[in-house]
Structure 1
Amino acid sequence: MATTASLSFSLPQRILHWLTAGLVFFNLLLPDGMNAWNRSMKQTGAASAEQVTSANIHAYAGIAILVLVAVRLMLRHVQGVPAAPAAEPAIFRSVAKISEWTLYLLLLVMPLTGAAAYYLGYEVAGDLHADVLKAVLWAVVGLHVLGALAHQFYWKTNVLRRMTVG
């Protein structure tokens, strides 16, 4: 993995971060189209055109998340990332590293389990996707946001700045 002395993430890394975040929140907050499609398929074996369209939008956003995260990981490997701020206690650096990689893993596994359910009909994958992984993702995203806020307001580091304006 490349290392960098940079104090912020590159512009492409920042753009990919925020595009990914937007799509993740879109799919977490607005899964109704996929839920309606799923209910209809279970109850009647068919779905309306509107339900299929809504489900497809959810699925396409998930596929976009998968692609964006794969590109982010490649950029991370090539360009590296800024070092953790010195003001952050070692235990929190460890928690940050674990939650960061857990988040990457979830952002890869969520679209894959969703696709396995939607496109291949694996109901177990859909249950895992919509119930277990979704709850874990919410928790990890919450931890990620809390960590960023702790850096900004408690440790007064540049963590938010390096992922926003650079």
Structure 2
Amino acid sequence: MAAVSRTGYTFPQKTLHWLMALLIFLNLLFADGMEHWNRLVRRGEPVTAADISSANIHAYVGIAILLLCLVRLILRLVKGVPDAPANEPKLAKLAAKIAHWAFYALFAVMPLAGIGKYYFGNEVAGDLHGGPLKLLLWTLIVVHIAAVLVHQLYWRTNLIRRMT
């Protein structure tokens, strides 16, 4: 697989990255509608049309993330990715590869688990979606941002330019 360029991703790759980041933060930070719906269903209480609409927004955003992930993965496989900065330690390069593929796995597995719970009533899927998968996603996001800051401020690789 050939790299896109030595310095950056393609415009579609950048657009998908930031659009997915926005949608992921939207669903992580504003999951109240889905959580409220889940509490009502779990308790056997009546669910209103407004409750369903609110939960649907979370579900539809999750489905959009899944679809965008597939497009993004195809672009990654077809267009490639830029080379890692030359002065990046080998262990950091390996960690970056593992983290990026973990992101792709989560971008697919989390929506599928959410679909399993919301549309098919699978409690295990729901527990995974709102528990360990959500925690792992938050952890990866924090590590990802920290790694970008290390590149920018410590190694001075200007890595952020590749995705902006």
TM-score (norm 2): 0.96
- Matched with 1:148 is 148
1: CA distance between counterparts of 2:100 and 2:139? 12
Find the counterpart in structure 2 of residue 94 from structure 1.
Answer: 94
Q: How far has the Cα of 1:3 moved from its partner?
A: 3.2
Where in structure 2 are there 5+ consecutive unaligned residues?
A: none
SS in 2 for 1:74: helix
Aligned-partner Cα distance in 1 for 2:41–2:97: 40
- Find the residue that maps to 2:53 and give its secondary structure: helix
Report the Cα offset of residue 150 of structure 1.
0.8
Q: In the alignment, which residue of structure 2 is the partner of 1:132?
A: 132
How far, CA to CA, are the matches of 1:113 and 1:59 in structure 2?
Answer: 11
Q: Deviation digits for residues 63-116 of structure 1, max 9, x if unmatched?
A: 010011100000111111100001211111111111111111011100000001
Aligned residue number for residue 80 of structure 2: 80
In the aligned structure 2, how far is the partner of 1:76 from the partner of 1:157?
A: 22
Q: Is the 8 A contact 2:65 2:111 kept in 1?
A: yes
Aligned residues: 164
Residue in 2 aligned with 1:59? Answer: 59
Indicate the residue corresponding to 1:108 in structure 2.
108
- The amino acid across from 2:57 in the alignment is I
Residue matched to 2:36: 36
Q: Name the aligned partner's letter for residue 162 of structure 1.
A: R
SS in 2 for 1:71: helix
In structure 2, C-alpha distance between the alignment counterparts of 1:80 and 1:139, rounded to whole Å: 25
Alignment RMSD, CA only?
1.1
Q: Which residue of 2 aligns with 1:24?
A: 24
**In 2, Cα distance between equivalents of 1:151 and 1:51:** 43
C-alpha deviation, 1:159, in angstroms: 1.3
1:113, 1:46 → 2: CA distance?
A: 24
Task: Please say if residues 4 and 10 of structure 2, whose CA atoms lie closer than 8 Å, have aligned partners that are also in contact.
Answer: no
Instruction: Give secondary structure in 1 for the equivalent of 2:23.
Output: helix
Moved over 2 A (4+): 1-6
How many angstroms does 1:47 deviate by?
1.0
| Counterparts of 2:11 and 2:46, CA distance in 1 | 44
Confirm or deny: 8 A CA contact 1:33 1:51 kept in the other structure: yes
Structure 1 gap ranges (5+): none
Percent of pairs identical after alignment?
Answer: 52
Give the Cα separation in 2 of the matches to 1:43 and 1:107.
29
Following the alignment from structure 2 to structure 1, what is the Cα–Cα distance between the partners of residues 98 and 27?
24
